[in-house]
């Protein structure tokens, strides 16, 4: 794809500081801001996004199979066997908007935050409901390794922020949301003697106590970043900004030399 194609890819959905209309941003854009305000600003203001990563097709397949499996219990109004195993008193929630909530790319669940005039949206994997009407946000994850799956790794902080944003969105939409959320983790086993065309998983449910109190303030920070005419600081661990900076300097140096007769 040439530079023209790259520009066209990003030309829709830019933020216009002069517009009074609410600006819609996805849950993943908030995560981008958390990682690196500069990358977020360049993408949202000027359409210069990071290069696409490769799609996680195996993870997506696991997500889809999880959804089908829990939908069977949903249709019956019964607990899933995993909930029985882990002593979770909840069933997959039945709701007319479930498929819309799951559509992360087009619809999802939304809320207009009036203080920032931003519309935040996100697509959930699942939602369970207890006998008292309290709802639990559920996220499916897939990995592969020998170790027991935990939420202790630092890089999984983004997973926690993700599920807390979903909790915030459902609270803002009037649902009685539990602070307890659940990660349904499929861990691919690599200890088999032969592959034989089959990949086996150990499935674990990990509870997580979320705290979505940070979302309101970070939306105000996001709006301030969007309105800024100054280049924001790069994230401390951003790998893209140093590359952009060094490549830009070298290209400018070569460009100036090429102009010298």
For the chain, the first-to-last Cα distance in angstroms comes to 33
197 torsion bin: left (phi>0), alpha (psi -120 to 50), beta (else): left
What integer is the mean pLDDT of 19-39? 95
21 belongs to a structural domain: no
Nearest to 137 by CA among 78, 205, 68: 205
Q: Residue 26: what pLDDT?
A: 94
Q: Are 208 and 181 in contact (CB under 8 A)?
A: yes
Secondary structure (3-state) at 3: helix
Highest mean pLDDT among 3-7, 53-57, 217-221: 217-221
Secondary structure (3-state) at 2: coil
222 belongs to a structural domain: no
Q: How many distinct structural domains can be found in the chain?
A: 1
7 belongs to a structural domain: no
| 149/140 Cα distance (integer angstroms) | 13
For 231-257, the pLDDT digits (tens) are 999 999 999 999 999 998 999 999 888
151 belongs to a structural domain: yes
Exposure string of 92-115, with b = 16+ CB inside 10 Å and e = fewer, is bbeeeebeebbebeeebbebebee
Q: Residue 12: what pLDDT?
A: 53
What integer is the mean pLDDT of 112-139? 97
172, pLDDT greater than 50: yes
At which residue do the structure tokens 């946000």 appear?
Answer: 137
Q: Residue 95 sits in which domain range?
A: 57-108+125-213
Q: What is the pTM of this model?
A: 0.90
pLDDT band (50, 70, 90) for residue 125: very high
231 belongs to a structural domain: no
For 38-81, the pLDDT digits (tens) are 999 999 999 988 888 777 778 888 899 999 999 999 999 999 99
Q: Residue 3: what pLDDT?
A: 45
| 126/145 Cα distance (integer angstroms) | 24
89 belongs to a structural domain: yes
Share of the chain above pLDDT 90, in %: 71
Comparison of pLDDT for 9 and 255, the residue scoring more: 255
Nearest to 213 by CA among 170, 180, 171, 168: 168
163 belongs to a structural domain: yes
Q: Which residues contact 166 (CB under 8 A, 6 or more apart)?
A: 27, 109, 122, 124, 137, 139, 181
245 belongs to a structural domain: no
Q: Residue 192: what pLDDT?
A: 75
pLDDT band (50, 70, 90) for residue 8: very low
| 19/231 Cα distance (integer angstroms) | 20
260, pLDDT greater than 80: no
| Cβ atoms < 10 Å from Cβ of 48 | 14
Q: Are 93 and 129 in contact (CB under 8 A)?
A: yes
Q: Are 136 and 181 in contact (CB under 8 A)?
A: yes
Inter-CA distances, 255 with 56, 245, 251, 260, Å: 38, 15, 6, 9
pLDDT band (50, 70, 90) for residue 182: very high
């Amino acid at each position: 794809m040439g530079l023209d194609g790259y520009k066209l890819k990003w030309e829709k959905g830019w933020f216009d500081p002069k517009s009074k209309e609410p600006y819609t941003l996805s849950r993943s854009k908030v995560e981008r801001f958390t990682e690196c305000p500069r990358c977020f600003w360049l993408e949202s203001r000027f359409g210069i996004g990071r290069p696409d990563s490769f799609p996680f097709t195996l993870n997506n397949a696991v997500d889809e199979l999880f959804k089908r499996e829990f939908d069977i219990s949903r249709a019956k109004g019964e607990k899933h066997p995993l909930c029985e195993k882990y002593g979770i008193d909840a069933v997959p929630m039945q709701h007319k908007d479930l498929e819309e909530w799951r559509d992360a790319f087009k619809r999802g669940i939304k809320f207009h935050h009036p203080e920032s005039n931003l519309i935040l949206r996100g697509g959930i994997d699942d939602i369970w409901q207890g006998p008292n009407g309290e709802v639990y946000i559920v996220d499916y994850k897939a990995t592969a390794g020998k170790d027991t799956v935990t939420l202790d790794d630092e890089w999984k902080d983004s997973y926690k922020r993700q599920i807390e944003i979903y909790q915030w969105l459902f609270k803002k939409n009037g649902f009685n949301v539990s602070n307890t959320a659940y990660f349904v983790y499929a861990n691919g086993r690599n200890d088999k003697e032969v592959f034989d065309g089959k990949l086996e998983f150990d499935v674990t449910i990990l509870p997580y106590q979320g705290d979505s109190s940070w979302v309101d303030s970070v939306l105000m920070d996001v709006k301030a970043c969007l309105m800024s005419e100054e280049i924001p600081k790069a994230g401390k661990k951003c790998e893209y900004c140093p590359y952009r900076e060094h490549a830009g300097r070298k290209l400018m140096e070569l460009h100036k030399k090429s102009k010298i007769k």
